[in-house]
Amino acid sequence: MPRKLIAAAAQMGPISKTETRADAVARLIEMMREAKGRGCELVVFTELALTTFFPRWMIEDEAELDSYYEREMPNSATMPLFDEAKKLGIGFYLGYAELVVLNGVKRRFNTSILVNQSGEIIGKYRKVHLPGHAEPQPERAFQHLEKRYFEPGDLGFGVYKGFGGNMGMAICNDRRWPETYRVMGLQDVEMVMLGYNTPFGHVGEQAMDSLTLFHNHLSMQAGAYQNATWVVGTAKCGNEEGSAMGGQSVIIAPSGEIVAMAVTVEDEVITASCDLDMGETYKQTVFDFGGHRRPEHYGLIVERPEAIPPS
């Protein structure tokens, strides 16, 4: 009996600076209901799904900056989402800005959680790869200050039992780094869920920026194929406070094939029936890690190639 998981990516259009948490949560609930109506057991929301992508601005005032973070999860703003999920019997991935006080020190992370069909948090992830810069760059139309507003994640890349399989999480820039998928691939992940906020023009090099959407799918399709896993990539997209961000949310099979893709830059639900056993054939043949992978022959993975011992 194949382990079929009907999953959704709930792509979000722009969240304006003036939109409240309640406004954002109402949009998420509407898409959750649509996903449920299509038979979904899981809906993957996006990165920073409760607020506008605030790292595009230099924010001097600490209280203003803090206003973009959640101090508890669930909290009064997000409890309606948890309640609806439990009522519908559907689980979800949610990305948000997390603020915790540890030993009297404010710690800030770009975070995602995995919530099961009973409304319980069964997994938590904090974004490891933070793109952009820590200091504002005056020449940029929009900043990308994730290195200023978040710390690198301290939870690693975990894989969690849920939805009948092995579920993993990542966030946005993580999808560009093969290590993200491989660390989970070595834990037999069967579905990697990730949200992304990807502004066009991020690099400032026309040749690269014109390939933003291509590199988006390239990264996720490669990660899926090379680790024999499903990948669900959910965008926040459209023109958000003047910053144009790419959409094309996707559900990708372990073959690397795109099986569903969003066609708007607004709130849009895409779904697929995901056979969680599909990766097994790849793991027993092309990507049989035990049979073909040779880490003991890779040499030292170091920053300084000269440190690799002469063969």
Site residues for ligand ING per CB under 6 A: 131, 172-173, 176, 196-198, 202-203, 212
For residues 108 and 176, which CB has a smaller minimum distance to ligand ING in the complex?
176
- Non-local CB neighbours of 209 within 8 Å, separated by 6+ positions: 200, 201, 202, 203
User: How do 230-236 and 191-197 pair as beta strands?
Assistant: parallel
Between the alpha carbon of residue 175 and those of residues 202, 205, 232, 251, the distances in Å are 16, 20, 11, 14
- Non-local CB neighbours of 273 within 8 Å, separated by 6+ positions: 4, 5, 6
Q: Which residues are catalytic?
A: 47, 127, 172
For residues 21 and 176, which CB has a smaller minimum distance to ligand ING in the complex?
176
CB of 298 to ligand ING, least distance (A): 26
CB of 310 to ligand ING, least distance (A): 36
For residues 154 and 306, which CB has a smaller minimum distance to ligand ING in the complex?
154
DSSP letter (8 states) at residue 151: P
User: How do 91-102 and 42-44 pair as beta strands?
Assistant: parallel
Grouping H, G, I as helix, E, B as strand and the rest as coil, residue 266 is coil
- In the block, tokens 């040749």 appear at 207
Question: CB-based burial of residue 263 (10 Å sphere; 0-12 exposed, 13-18 middle, 19+ buried)?
Answer: exposed
For residues 180 and 198, which CB has a smaller minimum distance to ligand ING in the complex?
198
For residues 171 and 251, which CB has a smaller minimum distance to ligand ING in the complex?
171
- In the block, tokens 């406070």 appear at 241
Q: Do 253 and 273 touch, CB atoms closer than 8 A?
A: no
CB of 51 to ligand ING, least distance (A): 13
Grouping H, G, I as helix, E, B as strand and the rest as coil, residue 259 is strand
CB of 210 to ligand ING, least distance (A): 11
CB of 176 to ligand ING, least distance (A): 6
